[in-house]
Amino acid sequence: MAQHNIHLTGFLYSHYDPRVKRIPSGIAPVIAIQKGAPNGLYRQVYQSYRKAIVDGSLRAGQRVPSTRVLARELGISRMPVLSAYAQLSAEGYFEGRVGSGTIVSRSLPERAAIVQPAAGRSKKILGERRRVSKRCLSLSIPEGFHRARGLGPFAVSQIAFEHFPLAVWNSLVTRHARNVHAQSLDYGDPMGLKDLRGAIAAYLRTARGVRCEAQQIMIVSGSQQGLEITARVLLDPGDQIWMEEPGYRYARSIFACSGCRVVPVRVDAEGLNIADGARKCSAARAALVTPSHQYPLGVTMSASRRLQLLDWAESSGSWIIEDDYDSEYRYEGMPITSLQGLDRNSRVVYIGTFSKVLFPSLRLGYVVVPEDLVGRFLAARFALDIGPATFHQAVVADFIGEGHFARHIRRMRLVYAERRSALIESLRRQLGSIVEITGAQAGMHLSAVLGGISDAELGARGASENLWLVPLSPFYMSKAVRHGFVLGFGSTSVQEIPAAVHRLHTLLKSKSQLKQLSC
């Protein structure tokens, strides 16, 4: 018996015919056609579609290929395909839409109940010992992560989207989209686009006091990937690393994946307490710090602490990872230069991102690598994902090179300064002495420390009222935690802030919580 198996996965594209109205391609399930089989070609097509819809592979509203296209792809006559489609339509699995072809019926339930898998199978799978790595078992999505990601008052890491120069950005994107050439379709440089790296190096030297050249810049998918690559290069399983307490909690997962042990080091008004770190673990392999605007408390590391940290790194042969995530925005005094700029022994790896100064979904950041480690970082990057996508790198390079970046930062510094002042004034006027405000000198967030509350519980209640309150307590690893909220002001207008603070005040007063508050 002759057998002809055709496997179709994903989209089917029809041949272009200018005389025929174009209907978007559709999705077909994997179909094995066996010519000469007793059930016939019509039944094989019908059963393949019916099974895919019932088991959820095809969902309500998804478009399927036209009968002509499917017949051509299967190498069979169109007649059995027409018969199968007619039967599926008659039974309610398909519906036709004028001008849009045939789709899986929208009236179907989320999962059809005609054919169910064997009842014992799912129980058997759940009962098996399904082993994963110990590193994976140590990971979890931080509690409240999804609650804190909405757009609304106090959302952290959100920009003033309405002030982004979309017309300029769209013009640059269009320019590059219209000038795609064959060479640009190939893999790019694993370190990143040369023009962008040069533009970033020039900016960092002048604006942040970073000592670097273009060949030291590695383009990454945001600061999180920068931390991941850095950990792969610098840290071995079992190594200890200092982290600020409280500190950037998403970095903990990276170090857990590297098999490292995090040593929480206390943060005070001068930043990371070097003496506390040396007392707990003087031989730590590295330290992760946010010296320009500590996350989440927002304090700036003093000059004395910076020099102490550099001395520790030199004497112990350790590394410093500087996460400089939003230092472009400073509202009191002159901008603080980078810690890396003070380093004379190449012990600092500097990480920056465009998520705050441009927009989060861009997913573009950079690492300034010590010259003698460039080859090591390149090898680690190649093993991770070969290299970054190139299109938006070219757009950002032009955005910087043509002066749009510098103008945008100057404008946004004024916008965020106004919003920051409005938030501080509203907090002090409405909450008074019950709130301690920290970290308001720079960045796009501040911390409101409040005693006598359960910040996680109130954060969950706030989300239901469109108040995106990030609890402060989960940023601590030890039991000696402070409660309060990390309040973003980047995406909240001056006009919205007083009413949002009033809602926060009302939330705090509920269930007599306000009577217990103290700083």
pLDDT digits (tens, 9 = 90+) for 450-504: 988 889 888 888 888 888 899 999 999 988 889 999 999 999 999 999 999 999 9
Examine residue 360 and say whether the peptide bond preceding it is cis (omega within 30 degrees of 0): no
pLDDT of residue 2: 44
Longest Cα pair distance anywhere in the chain, in angstroms?
A: 87
C-alpha neighbours within 13 Å on the C-beta side of residue 261: 8
Strands 319-323 and 348-353, by their bridges, are parallel
pLDDT digits (tens, 9 = 90+) for 192-205: 999 999 999 999 99
Q: How far apart are CA 397 and CA 227, in angstroms?
A: 23
pLDDT of residue 128: 63
Read off the pLDDT band of 513 (50, 70, 90): low
pLDDT of residue 378: 95
pLDDT of residue 348: 98
Specify burial of residue 420 (Cβ count, 10 A radius: 0-12, 13-18, 19+).
Answer: buried
| Least confident stretch, 119-123, 167-171, 397-401 | 119-123
The CATH number of the structural domain formed by 11-104 is 1.10.10.10
Q: How far apart are CA 475 and CA 245, in angstroms?
A: 7
pLDDT of residue 511: 53
Percent of the chain at pLDDT above 70? 87
219 contact partners, CB below 8 Å, separation of at least 6 = 191, 192, 193, 196, 197, 364, 365, 366, 388, 393
Read off the pLDDT band of 122 (50, 70, 90): low
267 contact partners, CB below 8 Å, separation of at least 6 = 244, 245, 246, 247, 273, 294, 297, 299
Statement: residue 5 has pLDDT above 60: no
Amino acid letter at 275? A
Report which secondary-structure segment, H or E, holds 96: strand 94-97
Statement: residue 112 has pLDDT above 80: no
Q: How far apart are CA 395 and CA 247, in angstroms?
A: 33
Specify the higher pLDDT residue, 140 or 198.
198
Cα 296–Cα 302–Cα 305 angle in degrees, nearest 5 = 100
Beta bridge partners of 348: 320
Statement: residue 119 has pLDDT above 90: no
- The CATH architecture of the domain made up of 189-402 is 3-Layer(aba) Sandwich (3.40)
DSSP 409-458: HHHHHHHHHHHHHHHHHHHHHHHGGG-EEE-TTBSSEEEEE-BSS-HHHH
Statement: 147-155+407-516 belongs to CATH 3.90.1150.10: yes
Give the chain's mean pLDDT.
Answer: 86
pLDDT digits (tens, 9 = 90+) for 285-343: 999 999 999 999 999 999 999 999 999 999 999 999 999 988 888 887 777 889 999 99
Helix (H, G, I), strand (E, B) or coil at 298: coil
Read off the pLDDT of each residue in 433-441 and give the average, rounded to a whole number. 91
Statement: residue 149 has pLDDT above 60: no
Model confidence pTM above 0.75: yes
Read off the pLDDT band of 39 (50, 70, 90): confident
pLDDT of residue 290: 96
Q: How far apart are CA 228 and CA 232, in angstroms?
A: 6
DSSP 42-79: HHHHHHHHHHHHHTTSS-TT-EE--HHHHHHHHTS-HH
Q: How far apart are CA 82 and CA 70, in angstroms?
A: 10
Examine residue 291 and say whether the peptide bond preceding it is cis (omega within 30 degrees of 0): no
Do 11-104 and 189-402 share a fold? no
Read off the pLDDT band of 215 (50, 70, 90): very high
Q: What are the sequence ranges of the domains in the chain?
A: 11-104, 147-155+407-516, 189-402
Statement: residue 146 has pLDDT above 70: no
Statement: residue 98 has pLDDT above 70: no
356 contact partners, CB below 8 Å, separation of at least 6 = 157, 159, 325, 326, 328, 329, 444, 490
